[in-house]
Amino acid sequence: MIAIAAVDRNWAIGNNGRLLVSLPEDQKDVFRRYTIGNTIIYGRKTLDTFPGRRPLPGRQNIVLSRDPGLEISGAVVLHSFSEVKEYLHRHMEEVVFVIGGEEVYRLLLPYCDEAIITQIDAEYEADAFFENLDVAENWILIDRTDPIRSVKGVSFCVARFRNENQGRNCAYSTK
């Protein structure tokens, strides 16, 4: 699995159930480019932020929810980490991106092999955060783009990190 997120200088990802800022260049050139045609896993609260509260088109959508009765047209609904492991084991050929929110990142990040992080050169008021991979023990920076200036007036770069424990925490394992 691959985590993909946009963070500010403090590794914040959201505030009051919304993204901190919407950068068209990041959404089109990073998020969409990587996730289109692949599988995305996210929480029900993240689904609530999508236009019309509908799954994203052109991707296999997996929504995590504690609500056992939740059904979402156009998405697979899973209710536990064991169900996620079972799904991943049955679909090992799929490229899977974890796209949020905070609780889902916290649950699945240890099982990700890689993280693609848009690092926004700004600070925002926030109540949701991503783990700071710059200081995380098992994550190493493998690549970072030059800064890009957004039409929104802020600069950002895209960093790729690798989990040095990849394979040890594999969510595909049936153990």
- The DSSP annotation for 15-84 comes to ETTEES---HHHIIIIIIHHHTTSEEEEEHHHHTTSGGG-PPTTSEEEEE-S-TT---TTEEEE-SHHHH
pLDDT value of position 167: 54
Residue 78 lies in a domain: yes
Residue 171 lies in a domain: no
Q: Taking 50 as the threshold, does the pLDDT of residue 175 lie above it?
A: no
Q: What is the mean pLDDT of residues 108-131?
A: 97
Residue 169 lies in a domain: no
Residue 150 lies in a domain: yes
Q: Taking 90 as the threshold, does the pLDDT of residue 155 lie above it?
A: yes
Question: Shortest CA distance to 101 belongs to which of 113, 93, 110, 109?
Answer: 109
Residue 120 lies in a domain: yes
Q: Taking 70 as the threshold, does the pLDDT of residue 108 lie above it?
A: yes
Q: How far is CA 58 from the centre of its chain?
A: 16
Question: Which CATH number belongs to the domain containing residue 124 in this structure?
Answer: 3.40.430.10
42 in Cβ contact with 63 (< 8 Å): yes
pLDDT value of position 66: 95
pTM over 0.85: yes
Residue 87 lies in a domain: yes
Residue 46 lies in a domain: yes
Instruction: Read off the pLDDT band of 68 (50, 70, 90).
Output: very high
pLDDT value of position 166: 64
Number of domains the chain is built from: 1
Instruction: Read off the pLDDT band of 173 (50, 70, 90).
Output: very low
Instruction: Read off the pLDDT band of 171 (50, 70, 90).
Output: low
Q: What is the mean pLDDT of residues 32-44?
A: 97
pLDDT value of position 174: 33
Q: Taking 70 as the threshold, does the pLDDT of residue 145 lie above it?
A: yes
Instruction: Read off the pLDDT band of 165 (50, 70, 90).
Output: confident
Q: Which domain holds residue 131?
A: 2-163
Average pLDDT, the chain: 93
Residue 175 lies in a domain: no
pLDDT digits (tens, 9 = 90+) for 21-35: 999 999 999 999 999
